[in-house]
Structure 1
Amino acid sequence: MNDTMITFTGWVGGNVELNHTTTGTPVATLRVGSTPRRLKDGTWEDQETIWYSVKAWRTLAENVAASVRRGQPVLVTGRLVAETWDRPDGTSSTRHVVVAATIGHDLSRGRADFSRPPRPVEQPADQPVEEVRQESAA
């Protein structure tokens, strides 16, 4: 595999947007700003902020949308990909996006409380819904 992997920390710059593709697949998008700091002559200096566009798919997308808010510190790992599209004027544009494999709160900057969402009860094809509910309650 020749994918370019990237890991970075930063602050969520806006609200997470959760959308669905035409086939119903969840996709979350967010912007994360990362400001490098360098030690120069005994004092720390902030460098220029780098803004990353981040996409998360499927379950990760839903969990990010439910958990991450603007202004929170996060740690992101994913593949760096180039998205290219044609503009109405006939020119093409490219932007780089991090397709996240993992996103989490940066615990060096605060605390988080983890919870796992409940899994939906699977219904056997030949069993009525009411029987499945009674069995799972037992």
Structure 2
Amino acid sequence: MNDTMITFSGWVGGNVELGRTATGTSFANLRVGSTPRRLKDGTWEDQETVWYSVKAWRTLAENVAASVHRGQPVLVSGRLVAETWERADGSTATRHVVLATAIGHDLSRGRAEFSRPASPENVQEARPEAAA
């Protein structure tokens, strides 16, 4: 496999945008800023912030949209890809996007509470009339 894998920490820079394809597949887009810090002469200095475009699909997209919000610290892991498209003037443009395989809160910067959405099978078993 020749994919470029990337893992980074950063802060969510805006609202998570949840959408669906024409076939109904969920996707989420978000921007994450990561500011490296370097120790120089005994003092920590912030470097230039790098902004990443992140895309999540299917269940991950739904969970990110429900759980992650602007300003929160996150860890992102995924595949770095180049998206190329043609502009209205005929020129081409390229941007790099991280296709996320995992996104979660950075617990070195705060606390989070995990909950698993109920699956249709568990909901059916939990209803009293299902037991009768």
Asked if these proteins are the same fold (TM beyond 0.5), I'd say: yes
Flag structure 2 segments of 5+ consecutive residues without an equivalent: none
Counterpart amino acid of residue 106 in structure 1: D
Partner residue in 1 for 2:10 = 10
SS of 1:33 mapped into structure 2: strand
CA distance in 1, matches of 2:52, 2:2: 21
Provide TM-score, normalisation by structure 2.
Answer: 0.93
**In the TM superposition, what is the alpha-carbon distance from 1:60 to its structure 2 partner?**
0.1
For 1:43-72, what per-residue CA distance to the aligned partner results, in whole angstroms no more than 9, with x for missing partners?
Answer: 000000000000000000000000000000
- Give identity over the alignment, percent: 79
Task: Within 5 Å, give how 1:63-78 maps onto structure 2.
Answer: 63-78=63-78
CA distance in 1, matches of 2:65, 2:13: 14
**In the TM superposition, what is the alpha-carbon distance from 1:133 to its structure 2 partner?**
8.2
Partner residue in 2 for 1:80 = 80
**In the TM superposition, what is the alpha-carbon distance from 1:94 to its structure 2 partner?**
0.2
Partner residue in 1 for 2:57 = 57
Larger radius of gyration: 1
* CA pair 84-133 structure 1, distance change in 2 beyond 3 A: farther
For 1:65-95, what per-residue CA distance to the aligned partner results, in whole angstroms no more than 9, with x for missing partners?
Answer: 0000000000000000000000111000000
Partner residue in 2 for 1:126 = none
Provide TM-score, normalisation by structure 1.
Answer: 0.89
CA distance in 2, matches of 1:109, 1:47: 19
For 1:5-35, what per-residue CA distance to the aligned partner results, in whole angstroms no more than 9, with x for missing partners?
Answer: 0000000000000000000000000000000
Partner residue in 2 for 1:40 = 40
CA distance in 2, matches of 1:41, 1:3: 38
CA distance in 2, matches of 1:86, 1:24: 25
SS of 1:75 mapped into structure 2: strand
**In the TM superposition, what is the alpha-carbon distance from 1:120 to its structure 2 partner?**
1.6
CA distance in 2, matches of 1:113, 1:133: 28
Flag structure 1 segments of 5+ consecutive residues without an equivalent: 123-131
SS of 1:74 mapped into structure 2: strand
